Amino acid sequence: MSEFEVVRSLPEDWTRAIVVVAHPDDIEYGCASAVARWTDQGKDVRYVLATSGEAGIAGLPPAQCGPLREDEERRSAAVVGVTHVEFLGHRDGQLEAGLALRRDLAAAIRRHRPDVVVTMFFGHAWRPDDDAADAPPDGGVSRQALPDGGFVNSADHRALGVTVLDAVADAANEWIFPELAEQGLAPWPGVHWIAVSGPGRYAVDVSDYVEAGVASLEQHARYLEALGPEPVAVRARDQVEAVTRRRRGFDAEHAVTFALYRA
């Protein structure tokens, strides 16, 4: 499948966003360069991670790996101007798209009261030319068919993404998870839209923020070192340059793409 054409810039008429992902490094592998642009504009961007990524490094026990990866994520966030990083404590590799995760994500949305919720691609698989992966004509998320030669997406990514969509509605509804209001978390109907990093027809010009994205991913040094012998700096640059490459139909040297949903 050839790369589809981006049709417009992602709206930036908002003040606060939360970026909700499954693991440390998920943001840096995708949209950290866009986050750097937004914080440079003075926007309030916060991170919410469902797990601490404690099952992510072979040979390193979870009790040691989790704190290490949390620390790497906080350093990554600081590089792109994010000072608030929250970990929800779900078990890495065992996220379930059910009520427990919905409740915790709805609580996070009520706590932070964002205008925008950003999350990551949650289709079943990525193609080798990842940003063209199964993109349907309307720019939404994949229809879930496994493409030939594709890479299966993480079970945690799939569970997290669809639950984020549900949790935005849950956060706004006073009768869903009423115990949250009893804990002082009033309903929050203020999310205007949800942006899913990955295949989509909306883009953010990150031409001035690629280096920030690379530096942010480089903070995950221990994780990247475990992936193979390639130097961390090389691996980080290759990844960020791949996800921020020029998009057909969008006037920018580097861009990050999103599918956009109204909340």
CATH for 112: 3.40.50.10320
Q: 256: left (phi > 0), else alpha (psi -120 to 50), else beta?
A: beta
> pTM (2 decimals)?
0.90
* Both structure tokens of 162: 């669809």
Q: In this model, does residue 141 exceed pLDDT 80? A: no
User: What residues does 48 pair with on adjacent strands?
Assistant: 20, 86
Q: Is residue 138 in a domain?
A: yes
Dihedral through CA 132, CA 151, CA 157, CA 94, nearest 10? 170
Query: In which band, very low, low, confident or very high, does the pLDDT at 114 lie, cut at 50, 70 and 90?
Result: very high
Q: Is residue 107 in a domain?
A: yes
Residue 217 pLDDT: 98
Instruction: Name the residue range of residue 185's domain.
Output: 8-262
Which range has the worst mean pLDDT, 131-145, 150-164, 222-236? 131-145
Q: Is residue 69 in a domain?
A: yes
Question: Phi and psi for 57 in degrees, rounded to 5?
Answer: -125, 115
Q: Is residue 185 in a domain?
A: yes
Q: Is residue 2 in a domain?
A: no
Alpha helices in the chain (DSSP H): 32-40, 62-79, 99-112, 155-172, 178-182, 210-218, 221-225, 232-243
The three-state secondary structure class of 37 is: helix
- The amino acid at 133: A
Residue 95 pLDDT: 97
- Please write the tens of the pLDDT for every residue from 222-249: 999 999 999 999 999 999 999 999 998 8
Q: Is residue 157 in a domain?
A: yes
Query: In which band, very low, low, confident or very high, does the pLDDT at 152 lie, cut at 50, 70 and 90?
Result: confident
Residue 139 pLDDT: 35
Q: Is residue 53 in a domain?
A: yes
3-state helix, strand, coil in the chain (%, to 5): 35, 20, 45
Calculate mean pLDDT across residues 65-69.
Answer: 98
Q: Is residue 105 in a domain?
A: yes
What percentage of the chain has pLDDT greater than the value 70? 89
* Both structure tokens of 66: 């989790």
Crossing angle for the helix pair 155-172 and 99-112, to the nearest 10 degrees: 60
Domains: count for the chain: 1
